[in-house]
Amino acid sequence: MIPKISISSKIADEHSLACLCTDLKQTATIQLSETEKTFLQKKFEKEDTCAITRIPHLLFFGKIKTEKEPYQQAEMARVAGTKLYDALKSAGETTVQLTSFCEAGFLTDFLEGLLLNTYNFEKYKKEKESFQLENILLIDEKITNEKIDEIINTTKATFVARDLVNEPLSFLTATQFSKEIEKLSDEAGFSLEVFHKKKIEALKMGGLLAVNKGSIDPPTFNILEWKPENATNKQAIVLVGKGVVYDTGGLSLKPTPNSMDYMKSDMGGAASIVAAIYAAALNKLPLHIVGLVPATDNRPDGNAYVPGDIIKMFDGTTVEIKNTDAEGRLILADALSYAKKYQPQLVIDCATLTGSADIIAGPHAAVVMGNTAEKVEQLKKSGLNTYERLIEVPLWEEYAAPLKSPIADLNNLGTREGQTTIAGKFLEHFTDYNWIHVDMAGPAFRKEKEAYRPAGGTGFGTRLLYDFLKSLTK
């Protein structure tokens, strides 16, 4: 539950206080004893945050380093907000005041880090978290209620993405995924159309159908649309998300440790685009946005597709299957082909696509590539703004060569070397518009908590995409 957030004109003595500063001299208006001043100075020599207990309240200080870049300073404020939440939880304090003495502000980033760290996924736990932060008072009359609402909505959306990734296949089948999207559409006001198996067969989406062959659960193809009357774009922005709700690897079976045991997260790309459209609708962004989510699990049942098969995709391209664990690109390719019907201004696909993207970037960034340099740079800027960073790789033609097949138009694997870009070249084949591919295999799911990014689903991509979409309205 998101705490109640309000704006106040002055600091009250009866509540805990948390502040940001670049120099301790800026906090002179806060009355500290000599002992507290000495303690704070020593603490800041080694650390960027300090909590002082004044029973029954807390004083919390976060230091922003002026030598850092602005986007790094904003992230320092978010991390300080994370540590503030931990301190409040430890003290059992349910109300806190936030203020900033920094010239550049960062109060909204401080708030965002605090809110993002309140997340818990406890649906399946008998014992629930008892602590609940109830009230946040912002000591800054320049901040508008509209800005607060925007932060609340993007936080809610990030939590939606985290929840979807954290849900196990025992609940989140492709069909249930569609039902969860329907709940979000009812709440936020975007439309949803769901194609079920018969419709998918009629459309001859061969990639999605092939991956689904080994499953007892049917696939779905979900079309989300946010089209406000004041949309500023004549051509839609289309977001495509890989919705493999669980990936065993199919007959090319994955090993379990550190691989298959995390594969409920293989729909992290779909979760992020669903959540981004949810945030856009809640915040009434004046953009026409379409989301495409092909969804299925990938299992090795008796009728599963096999290496050596040749399948025909939605656009008629034939693909020789070299590895059934290279399934994400198959369902994405059908969606990318389907996107052509919108004559889109831009298409962005997000996917936990290749292990090699995790090797390139680890949990700290996603890998990005595309055929529109200007929009890639704009997306990378949003990556810095939200600290959901992107590492760009080129789409050189040489990376398409390993996808040649002697018996089909393409094969679905290529070589081990350069696999992230090879997968991108496979997807590029199905595009004829401005297109960006984001491979978020590393940051979508974490094994351990880091700051406001929890263990499990992180919601990576939600804030990135929302910031980018918002930038298109300026």
CA distance 329 to 412: 8
- Which candidate in 78, 329, 425, 463 is catalytic? 329
90's tokens: 């430890």
227's tokens: 């089209």
Strand pairing of 135-139 and 95-100?
A: parallel
Could you tell me if 82 and 133 are in contact, meaning their C-beta atoms sit under 8 angstroms apart?
no
List Cβ neighbours of 432 (8 Å cut-off, separation of 6 or more).
Answer: 340
- Which candidate in 254, 425, 446, 463 is catalytic? 254
CA distance 328 to 330: 5
CA distance 176 to 245: 10
Asked about 425 being catalytic, the answer comes back as no
CA distance 244 to 223: 16
Asked about 78 being catalytic, the answer comes back as no
Give all strands (DSSP E) within 314-467, no chain letters.
318-320, 346-351, 365-370, 389-392, 410-411, 435-439, 445-446, 456-457
Question: What is the Cβ-side half-sphere exposure of residue 317, based on CA atoms within 13 angstroms?
Answer: 23
Give the residue from 80, 96, 82, 107 showing the smallest Cα distance to 133.
96
Residues 20-52 as b or e (16 or more Cβ within 10 Å = b): bbbebeebeebebeeeeeeebeebbeeeebbbb
Amino acid residing at 421:
T
CA distance 449 to 196: 37
Which positions are catalytic? 254, 329
